[in-house]
Amino acid sequence: MFRKVLIANRGEIAVRIIRACHELGIKAVAAYSEADRDSLAVRLADEAVCIGPPAPAKSYLNAPALISAALISDCDAIHPGYGFLSENPYFAESCRECGITFIGPSADSIKRMGDKALAKQAMREAGIPLVPGTDSPLASVDEAEAIARDIGYPVLLKAVAGGGGRGMRVVQTPDELARAYATARAEAEAAFGRGDLYMEKYLPVVRHVEIQVLGDQHGHAIHLGERDCSLQRRHQKVVEEGPSPALTEELRQRMGATALKGVAEIGYYNAGTMEFLLDTEGNYYFMEMNTRLQVEHPVTEWLTGLDLVRWQLLIAAGERLTLDQNAVKIRGHAIECRINAEDAARDFMPSAGTVDLYLPPSGPGVRVDSHLYSGYRTPTNYDSMLAKIIVWDADRQRAIKRMTRALSECVISGITTTLPFQLELMQTPEFISGNIATHTLADIMART
């Protein structure tokens, strides 16, 4: 097992990883930017190393600074968290070359799944159903027009290097295509340094259902059931839950088996997520694989009783996954609400400042993953997520009531947050009914 792990991330996920390290008796070193000097991660870690100025490109995306920090603090492994360098194959490879274990899959797996067009090719070879469309980058707007004619409108333009819903455009009619192509390319170029696009048929009424997988380096892999992340705003997740109200046990096992086929195809190990779109007839289509820990991993932790970060550390250290598929039991219902520093009443305008008072909810079945404390000043350079509130209860209706209770208890004063927005959402007939799709949140917001 590792002696000391560098956490190449910030915010709640850095805190989450430090906790897992400490429970395994591993020392944790927080890599922090100048804007995060007073962060909770720095307080909780055994050591902390400043890796540069606030701008992500100069700190949390600065691979040489992170690797140097790991070397000087004598770490034998790096945990990348999510976002930042977690899905950068060159970073994973550089760690290996410097004799530091990257806590995640192989650089090759990251590379194959990170290019979404290549990922679709690999999954096609594994016989996994895909959303109709291209699985190589579009050469020109003319080619895009020809393919769109072929698969039929509406279509979706997506960035080959995509993530976080950026570089994505729905195109309803042929006359919108050329403009959408240009803007999506420009957005992808700016966000990812690569403007290549691919095209899919746009499926208007679908759920986002993803399967969590865990595999070791000895060829053994299992799936841990699904999370339903259909409540989205601008293609970004707002609420996640499990089990999905739309899945039968039979469909769960079928989707799980499909996910494991994908894992076997690329020899994937560590934690990963296969994302699918599920239509109203029970057909599902592979969308992409995330080769890292997900923001919403606590949902699966509640349902299965497994600690995913602990398993990430054990697997990266070469240990065997000592669980068989039939040992995985999904119990009860879990819901996660993301709390962001945003003003929902003003088109989710970012809010910043000092948190005067922070009183997280607790009590039975409530977990809060957050880096907040009273007096914390939020830096403006990073993602706006402040906390994740995750609840568990015996069934979905009770979990909704528990989440409502938890959200009402939570106090974050001094800055505007999405707490009231989430509280309202929990009380909408749509969410309560469980009959939700990726367009549902937009419908709710248009109504209110």
User: What residues are annotated to the active site?
Assistant: 292
Q: Which residue lies nearer to ligand ADP by CB, 235 or 310? A: 235
Shortest CB 201 distance to ligand ADP, Å: 6
Angle at 424 between CA 421 and CA 426, to 5 degrees: 110
Shortest CB 85 distance to ligand ADP, Å: 16
Q: 11: phi > 0 → left, psi -120 to 50 → alpha, else beta; which? A: left
Which among 354, 345, 349 is positioned nearest to 412, based on CA atoms? 354
Q: Which residue lies nearer to ligand ADP by CB, 12 or 187? A: 187
Shortest CB 134 distance to ligand ADP, Å: 12
Q: Which residue lies nearer to ligand ADP by CB, 56 or 114? A: 114
**Residue by residue, what is the 3-state secondary structure of 290-334?**
ECCCCCCHHHHHHHHCCCHHHHHHHHHCCCCCCCCHHHCCCCCEE
Q: Which residue lies nearer to ligand ADP by CB, 208 or 388? A: 208
Q: Which residues bind ligand ADP (CB under 6 A)?
A: 131, 156, 162-165, 168, 200, 202-203, 206, 208, 232, 235, 275, 277, 287-288, 438
Q: Which residue lies nearer to ligand ADP by CB, 184 or 386? A: 184
Query: What DSSP letter does each residue of 214-255 carry, written as one string?
Result: EE-TTS-EEEEEEEEEEEEETTEEEEEEES-TT--HHHHHHH
Shortest CB 232 distance to ligand ADP, Å: 5
Token digits of residue 229: 């992340």
Pairing relation of β-strands 101-102 and 169-171? unpaired
Shortest CB 164 distance to ligand ADP, Å: 5
Q: Which residue lies nearer to ligand ADP by CB, 4 or 235? A: 235
The Cα–Cα gap between 124 and 130 comes to 7
Q: What are phi and psi of 69, to 5 degrees?
A: -60, -40
The Cα–Cα gap between 406 and 42 comes to 27
Give the orientation angle of helix 141-151 with respect to helix 177-192, to 10 degrees. Answer: 120
Q: Which residue lies nearer to ligand ADP by CB, 184 or 266? A: 184
Shortest CB 284 distance to ligand ADP, Å: 12
With tokens 């170029």, the residue in question is 189
- Residue 160 carries which DSSP code? T
Shortest CB 173 distance to ligand ADP, Å: 16
338 close to 238: Cβ distance less than 8 angstroms? yes
The Cα–Cα gap between 265 and 251 comes to 21
Shortest CB 155 distance to ligand ADP, Å: 8
Q: Which residue lies nearer to ligand ADP by CB, 206 or 344? A: 206
Q: 83: phi > 0 → left, psi -120 to 50 → alpha, else beta; which? A: left
The Cα–Cα gap between 78 and 57 comes to 18
Pairing relation of β-strands 197-201 and 236-242? unpaired
